[in-house]
Amino acid sequence: MSSTTELAELHELIGSLRRCVTSLASRYGDSPATRRIVNDAERILNDIDRLDIDAEELELARGVVHHQPVGERIPIPDTAYDTDFWRDVDDEGLGGTR
């Protein structure tokens, strides 16, 4: 999704939809049918707002990578830890017990 262009167009369209729904509701009054269409329009608006929130996630799914600054790197030595380091620690191991 070309995020800003399509999302801006969706916002314009939902604005038009809300104006139409408001006009229909004022013309036909409070009835189950008008309440239903008002609720549907609000749900669509909420979905579009959610899409705004998820736009970055959609870009990541497409493979667009946002580079974030690299923080401080902490070197981890390859040498074995002193056995005293692990004293009084339960060894749960990997994969369970037999």
**What digits encode the pLDDT tens for the residues 23-40?**
988 999 989 999 999 999
CB 46 within 8 A of CB 29: no
How many structural domains are present in the chain? Answer: 1
Give yes or no for residue 18 having a pLDDT over 70. yes
Q: What is the mean pLDDT of residues 63-84?
A: 71
Domain assignment of residue 47, yes or no: yes
Report the pLDDT value the prediction gives residue 20, as an integer from 0 to 100.
92
60 Rama class: left (phi>0) / alpha (psi -120 to 50) / beta? alpha
49 lies in which domain range?
3-62
Of 58, 63, 57, 17, whose CA–CA distance to 37 is shortest? 17
How far is residue 70's CA from residue 60's CA, in Å, rounded to a whole number?
18
Residue 43 lies in a domain: yes
Q: Is residue 79 part of a domain?
A: no
Per-residue confidence at 95, pLDDT binned at 50, 70, 90?
low
26 within domain boundaries: yes
